[in-house]
Amino acid sequence: MGFKKNIISTDLAPAAVGTYSQGVEHNGTYFFSGQIGLDAKTGEMAEGFEAQVAQIMKNIDGLLEACSITREHIIKTSIFVTDLGNFSKVNEAYVAYFSEPYPARSCVQVPALPKGALAEIEVIAAKG
């Protein structure tokens, strides 16, 4: 038997707009593609950094819900921002979204993100 991976696809988060899946599950570990501040229903980008991060968290919740897992299953986040000056806002959003013990995390500044987004967050979760 070959390598087994399960593709995650849901309308609870924005659809993939390129050659990638919303997520992939393998042996109880979930690798979700980065989420930007697009509303899954309207396809519109939230306005402003805080609103985009709030929408990103809603999108992540949709992905988790589609897999019958919760925020508690997230073990790693990777955060990409176009302005590291928003780092304190990232921390504020993180505390509002997660509770201790927090997942491992990286946060880096990038020159640009798809669709002019100000932030993108990808997560890895595990069930087991």
Tell me what pLDDT residue 18 has.
Answer: 86
Determine whether 67 is an active site residue.
no
Segment 51-109, tens digit of pLDDT: 999 999 999 999 999 999 999 999 999 999 999 999 999 999 999 999 999 999 999 99
Segment 29-51, tens digit of pLDDT: 999 999 999 999 999 999 999 99
Cβ–Cβ under 8 Å, residues 83 and 1: no
Q: Which residues of 77-114 are buried (b: 16+ CB within 10 A; e: fewer)?
A: bebbbbeeebeebbeebbeebbeeeebebebeeeeebe
Q: Which CATH architecture fits 6-12+20-126? A: 2-Layer Sandwich (3.30)
Mean pLDDT to the nearest integer, 23-29: 97
Q: Name the helix (H) or strand (E) containing 120.
A: strand 119-126
Tell me what pLDDT residue 24 has.
Answer: 98
Tell me what pLDDT residue 1 has.
Answer: 63
Residue ranges of the domains in the chain? 6-12+20-126
- Token pair 């925020």 in the structure block, residue: 71
- The catalytic position among 12, 69, 107, 124 is 107
